[in-house]
Amino acid sequence: MLEVKGVIPPLITPLTKDEHLDEEGLKRLLNYVIDGGVHGVFVLGSTGEFYGLEYSEKQKIVEKTIDEVNGRVPVYVGASAITTSEAVKLARMAKSCGAQALSVLTPMFVSPTEEELYQHFKAVADATDLPNILYNNPDKTGINMSPRLVKRLAQIENIVGVKDTSGDITLTCEYIRQNNTENSEFAVVAGKDTMIFPVLMCGGKGCVAGTANVLPKLVVDIYNKYIAKDYEGALKAQYRLSVFRNAYALGSFPVVPKDALNILGINVGHPIRPITHMTEEAQVKLKAILDELKDYL
């Protein structure tokens, strides 16, 4: 079974002006983050605007990603949808394309009970033999997965981890504590880029960090310094990354990392409307922040 660890960027989806995949942009981005030392790539996440893509476009993104990565790092694919049937369809598509793992977000818009959530995640896990990583993002879906639910789901053989984007370190630590047994390889990874170092210190295995699209070397530096037990260095790197992550307030999610890549010359095109590019004033501020981090570019 795949060991979930390290830095896994949820990839920006490079798009043309008419909101179709820019294949050359995807190749550029994949090679940029892999050259930056990441330990995996994750397509069709929220940073990748999965919610605005047609099924055929999603399949193309998965196929092109797996082809370009060519086994250099594991490819994680988002199998997230409002309905269980759609999530199962995405999971099977990812499997057929050759993905190494799935990431499954809690359904958005609807408000399932805990039992309904359990049955949803179980159905997606049962649909393939791929490792599944649960994805808790209450700010975006309105659902916050309890430690009790995560522990129950962790008993399913191919549910191997959870990404927590709640920003609640107590909750993240409970996910870790309640699944930290001698026989458990269940991985908890940070989904909040400002909390990578604290989650590692609490026993987390890595991060799914949107900022690693733009600053892969810096995010990897946090992880590598932690692994080397250079905790002071890891903390310093975390604080440097936080300056960029806090700049997400300059635009609507997820345009800031997309525009940052455009500023750096790694052209990834346009966001999906109604989201638009950052204002010129905001882009000037963003460029100044990137200039401060040029030693990691």
Pick out the residues of the known binding site.
47, 208
Q: Given 32, 58, 76, 135, which residue is catalytic?
A: 135
For residue 53, CA distances in Å to 78, 153, 159, 229 come to 12, 28, 26, 41
Specify whether the CB–CB gap between 11 and 213 falls below 8 A. yes
Dist. CA 27–CA 69, nearest whole Å: 9
For residue 213, CA distances in Å to 10, 13, 246 come to 7, 10, 15
CB burial readout 126-161, b (16+ within 10 A) else e: ebbebbbbbbbbbeebebebebebbbbbbeeebbbb
Specify whether the CB–CB gap between 38 and 216 falls below 8 A. yes
Tokens (6 digits) for 202: 């609490």
Tokens (6 digits) for 146: 């309890």
**Catalytic status, residue 135:** yes
**C-alpha angle 44/178/46, rounded to 5°?**
15
Tokens (6 digits) for 66: 């797996």
**Catalytic status, residue 239:** no
Annotated binding site for pyruvate: 47, 208
Q: Given 32, 76, 163, 226, which residue is catalytic?
A: 163
Known catalytic residues are: 135, 163
